[in-house]
Amino acid sequence: MKHIIYTLTFLFIGTSMLGQEHVNTKGGYAAEGFDVVSYFQDQPQKGNKKFKTDYNGTAYKFASQENLEAFKNAPEKYIPQYGGFCAYAIAQNGKKVSVNPETYTITNGKLYLFYNSWGVNTLEKWNEEGAAALQQKADKTWKDLTSTN
């Protein structure tokens, strides 16, 4: 009986974490704890543990109850592209690189996050090298990365 309980527990935990390797949860939350709704208000803000939710096995924090409710009503609208990893790194070398959550762009209603540290701002590179072409490349690369695991 104990063996069955352990097996069922493992299966439950394993399936609830399915796909989490494809989400940047540095700091325990998506977007490193920033409120993903606040990006669409042109004011990226750190979330508050008082306003948090879980969506598809990933934890999100929000700056206000209103933003939490907005997310709950349309989560797919606010979720960062490419699991919240650096869009430029996904496009250029298929690597899941952490981001600076204050370096972002919103294009066609989608949120893209970028690495920005040690004198390297990949959002600038994204724009200089052609955002549209890089986005197409990143879309394909992300699809390949997430379909193999």
pLDDT bracket for residue 148 (50, 70, 90): low
Which of these, 69, 12, 15, 6, lies nearest to 37 by C-alpha position?
A: 69
Pairing of strands 120-121, 116-117: antiparallel
Nearest to 113, CA basis, from 128, 127, 129, 102: 102
Between 106 and 23, name the one with better pLDDT.
Answer: 106
Higher pLDDT, 148 or 25: 25
The residues facing 54 across adjacent strands are 59
Residue 3: which pLDDT band, with cuts at 50, 70 and 90?
very low
Judge whether residue 134 has pLDDT over 90.
yes
pTM given for the model: 0.84
Q: What percent of the chain has pLDDT over 90?
A: 79
Distance, CA of 119 to CA of 122 (rounded, Å) = 10
Q: What is the pLDDT of residue 26?
A: 86
Give the pLDDT score at 149: 53
Task: Kindly report, residue by residue over 65-120, the tens digit of the pLDDT.
Answer: 999 999 999 999 999 999 999 999 999 999 999 999 999 999 999 999 999 999 99
Residue 9 confidence (pLDDT) above 50: no
Query: What's the confidence (pLDDT) of residue 20?
Result: 54
Task: Write out the E strands in the chain.
Answer: 48-55, 58-62, 100-107, 110-114, 116-117, 120-121
pLDDT per residue as tens digits for the range 40-69? 999 999 999 999 999 999 999 999 999 999
Burial environment of residue 147 by CB neighbours within 10 A (0 to 12, 13 to 18, 19 or more): exposed
